[in-house]
Amino acid sequence: MLPVGSRFQLLSDGQWALIEDLLPVRTGERGRPFSDARAMVEGIIYRYRCGIPWRDVPAVFGPWQTI
């Protein structure tokens, strides 16, 4: 989870509560569960907001390959 008050925390708790249940969950043996779904979503938002390549997304969101 991103530190509270971090410049990388893009969603408020209220906003996250609205979309949290819409994310897919792992079912069966296929796929991996998200280690931190909120960080993943915020990494996607950060990337599109800044207009940067995936490889340039800050490491605080996790490896760029998993965002």
Per-residue model confidence (pLDDT) at position 31? 66
- Domain assignment present for residue 43? The answer is yes
Per-residue model confidence (pLDDT) at position 65? 86
- Domain assignment present for residue 44? The answer is yes
Per-residue model confidence (pLDDT) at position 54? 93
User: Dihedral angle at the C-alpha atoms of 39, 45, 48, 52, nearest 10 degrees?
Assistant: -30
Task: List the chain pLDDT tens, one digit each, 67 residues.
Answer: 555 556 677 898 999 999 998 987 765 566 666 678 888 899 999 999 899 999 999 988 888 888 8
Per-residue model confidence (pLDDT) at position 53? 94
- Domain assignment present for residue 14? The answer is no
- Domain assignment present for residue 12? The answer is no
Give the total number of structural domains in the chain: 1
- Domain assignment present for residue 6? The answer is no
Per the structure, the complete domain to which residue 66 belongs is given by: 33-67
- Domain assignment present for residue 39? The answer is yes
Give the C-alpha separation, 48 to 46, whole Å: 6
Per-residue model confidence (pLDDT) at position 33? 67
Query: Which residue blocks in 1-67 are alpha helix, DSSP H?
Result: 13-19, 37-50
- Domain assignment present for residue 58? The answer is yes
- Domain assignment present for residue 47? The answer is yes
